[in-house]
Amino acid sequence: MGFFQEPTNWVLLSFVIFVAGFAYKGWSHVLARLDGRIAEISAELETAAKLHREAADMLAQYQARQRDALGEAATITARAREQAEGIRIRAEYDLKETIARRERQLEERLGRIEQNAIAELRAAAASIALEASESLIRKGLDAKGQIALVDKSTASITTSGIN
């Protein structure tokens, strides 16, 4: 028997022709589809890489902003502490000045009160002494003695310079 008379050979030949036809016509179609899918995957990978780079850039920017903000916060905090210390020192100084001024005012006031009290005591003592002297003089002197005492007193007043 010949090659073409066997049915299995025909099956083999038809399979080979089918595979060759598929390889010639269908393979290019399959390869085109695979190439399209490869292009899609490559585009997606490029997009993903681009997004990854953008995300890394944004992360770096935000980290830099955070470092800047932390540095600025530390600067502001230090400046606020310095200002608070300055205010505290100034307040202490002002308080000491106020206390010293109040003490001086109080001492002056007490001095005036003391001087007024001394003047009042002197005036009261002089008044009492005058009344006692007058009472003694009235009891112990006659009219001539009183005139002589008045003359002597006016003479001593004019010589001492009291007007």
Is the pTM higher than 0.75?
no
CB 149 within 8 A of CB 141: yes
> What one-character DSSP code corresponds to residue 141?
-
- The reported pLDDT for the residue numbered 163 is 46
DSSP for 19-57 reads HHHIIIIIHHHHHHHHHHHHHHHHHHHHHHHHHHHHHHH
- The reported pLDDT for the residue numbered 162 is 47
Domains in the chain: boundaries: 11-157
Segment 27-64, tens digit of pLDDT: 778 888 889 999 999 999 999 999 999 999 999 999 99
Segment 100-129, tens digit of pLDDT: 999 999 999 999 999 999 888 888 887 887
pLDDT at 1 over 70: no
Segment 4-22, tens digit of pLDDT: 788 898 899 899 988 888 7
SS percent in the chain: helix, strand, coil, step 5: 95, 0, 5
Cα 113–Cα 115–Cα 116 angle in degrees, nearest 5? 65
pLDDT at 156 over 80: no
